[in-house]
Amino acid sequence: MRKALLVIAVLALTAGAQAQAQKTSSSSYRYRWKDASGLPHYSDSLTSDALKYGYDLVNDRGLVVQHVDRQLNPEERAAAKKVADQQAADQRAAQERARVDSQMLAAYPTEDDYATSLKQSLDNLDQQIGTTRVNLRSQEKALTDLLTRAGDLERAKQPVPKVLNDSIAKQRNVVTQQRDTLERELNARDAAEKKNGDDLKHYRDVKAAKEKERSGL
Run means of pLDDT, 10 residues per run, the chain, 217 residues: 43 41 55 89 88 89 88 86 94 95 95 95 96 97 97 95 96 97 97 96 95 80
Residue 105 to residue 112: CA distance in whole angstroms: 12
Pairing outcome for strands 55-58 and 30-34:
antiparallel
Could you tell me where the DSSP H helices lie in the chain? Answer: 2-26, 48-53, 74-107, 111-155, 162-216
Residue 164 to residue 170: CA distance in whole angstroms: 10
* Signed CA dihedral, 61, 66, 71, 72: sign only: positive
Domain boundaries, the chain: 25-71, 74-107, 110-216
- The 10s digit of each residue's pLDDT in 9-55 is 433 444 443 444 344 344 578 999 898 888 999 988 888 888 888 99
Q: What are phi and psi of 44, to 5 degrees?
A: -85, -10
* Signed CA dihedral, 143, 145, 146, 147: sign only: positive
